Each structure stands twice: as structure tokens, then as C-alpha cells.
């Protein structure tokens, strides 16, 4: 999976915001990311598997892969549904 270049990450008033840069911009397509979401976004600038994403997050935040698997998987699925990540 990899980020969709039709979105850009912006820092607006100390918030990480994913903004579509093509087509008509509507507020329901704008996504707010937390710190971990920003980490995932930066990591997926190059193509990686879910397992690689999980391993990278686990290493960065000193947690086990199994502790984060469900939350990260659901979060990535949300980004895929929004069109921000290509699988």
C-alpha cells in the first residue's frame, strides 16, 4: 500500500490534516490525523505491506505488533475507503 498523491498532509494550527488536492474539495474529504496517523502517512510515501507498517509503528512507539494490529488495520482501512491510500 502507498499514499495517494491526490492528498497532501498539511499542518494547520498544530493539527495534521489530509487535504485532497484534485477535483472539488469538500470538507467530508478532509481528514484529521493524530501523531500516529502522521507517522503512517510519512511511512507510506513508499510502498509497504501492512506487516511492515505494523512493525515500523511497533518499533517507533515501543509496543507489540499484536497490541496495535486491530486499531492500525481499522485506521488504514478508513484511509483506503477515503481514497487517501492505494492498496
Q: Which domains does the chain have, with CATH numbers?
A: 2-86 (1.10.10)
**Cα 54 to Cα 76: distance, rounded to the nearest angstrom:** 11
**Cell 469538500 -> residue:** 26
Check if the beta carbon of residue 10 is closer than 8 Å to that of residue 17.
yes
Q: Which residues of the chain have pLDDT under 70?
A: 23-28
Which pLDDT score, from 0 to 100, does residue 22 have?
75
**Tens digit of pLDDT for each residue in 20-31?**
887 665 556 788
From the list 42, 36, 35, the residue with the least C-alpha distance to 9 is: 42
Tell me the three state secondary structure of residue 20. Answer: strand
Amino acid at each position: 500500500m502507498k499514499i495517494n498523491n491526490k492528498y497532501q498532509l498539511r499542518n494547520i494550527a498544530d493539527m495534521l490534516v489530509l487535504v485532497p488536492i484534485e477535483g472539488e474539495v469538500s470538507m467530508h474529504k478532509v481528514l484529521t490525523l493524530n501523531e500516529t496517523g502522521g507517522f503512517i502517512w510519512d511511512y507510506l510515501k513508499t510502498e509497504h505491506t501492512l506487516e511492515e507498517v505494523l512493525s515500523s509503528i511497533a518499533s517507533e512507539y515501543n509496543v507489540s505488533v499484536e497490541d496495535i494490529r486491530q486499531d492500525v488495520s481499522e485506521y488504514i482501512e478508513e484511509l483506503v475507503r477515503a481514497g487517501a491510500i492505494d492498496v
